[in-house]
């Protein structure tokens, strides 16, 4: 299967995940936020959705195990790294070290992202092997 065929075959799943992640990202701003905050949340959610949709759509259909696995955990990597950066900036502004609760929370998000990535890579590997058998 070529990448063009994989894109054509996985397009609906890709678009679905883009829409789902964009909507979920906007749900974080239900209690408030400016229009600019809403647009940034929509953009970031759509970017994460594009990555997840690509992992579960075209990359999975193509059998790209590493690429599909890497992109499947993107939202968790993004949340974990963003949380760490926000905490580090806040700690720097008040002139103290990182709070003790920041590292475990960031670690949990990164571990969950890694587990999702590994699970997706193994899923693609299993489908690729199953489809390759005569």
How far, in Å, CA of 97 to CA of 124, rounded? 42
Alpha-carbon torsion, ordered 121, 125, 131, 133, to 10 deg: 180
How many distinct structural domains can be found in the chain?
1
Could you give the 3-state DSSP secondary structure of residue 33?
coil
pTM above threshold 0.95: no
| pLDDT per position as a tens digit, 75-114 | 889 888 888 888 888 777 777 766 667 788 888 989 999 9
Q: Which domain holds residue 11?
A: 3-132
How far, in Å, CA of 88 to CA of 14, rounded? 34
**Upper half-sphere CA count for residue 41 (Cβ side, 13 Å):** 16
| pLDDT per position as a tens digit, 59-71 | 887 788 888 888 8
């Amino acid at each position: 299967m070529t990448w063009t065929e994989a894109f054509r075959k996985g397009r609906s799943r890709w678009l679905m995940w883009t829409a789902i992640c964009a909507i979920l990202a906007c749900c974080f701003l239900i209690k408030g936020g400016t229009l600019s905050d809403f647009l940034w949340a929509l953009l970031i959610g759509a970017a994460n959705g594009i990555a997840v949709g690509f992992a579960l759509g075209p990359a999975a259909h193509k059998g790209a195990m590493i690429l599909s696995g890497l992109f499947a955990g993107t939202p968790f990597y993004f949340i974990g790294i963003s949380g760490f950066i926000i905490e580090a900036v806040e700690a720097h502004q008040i002139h103290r070290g990182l709070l003790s609760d920041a590292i475990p929370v960031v670690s949990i998000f990164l571990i969950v992202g890694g587990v999702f990535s590994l699970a997706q890579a193994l899923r693609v590997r299993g489908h690729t092997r199953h489809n390759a058998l005569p």
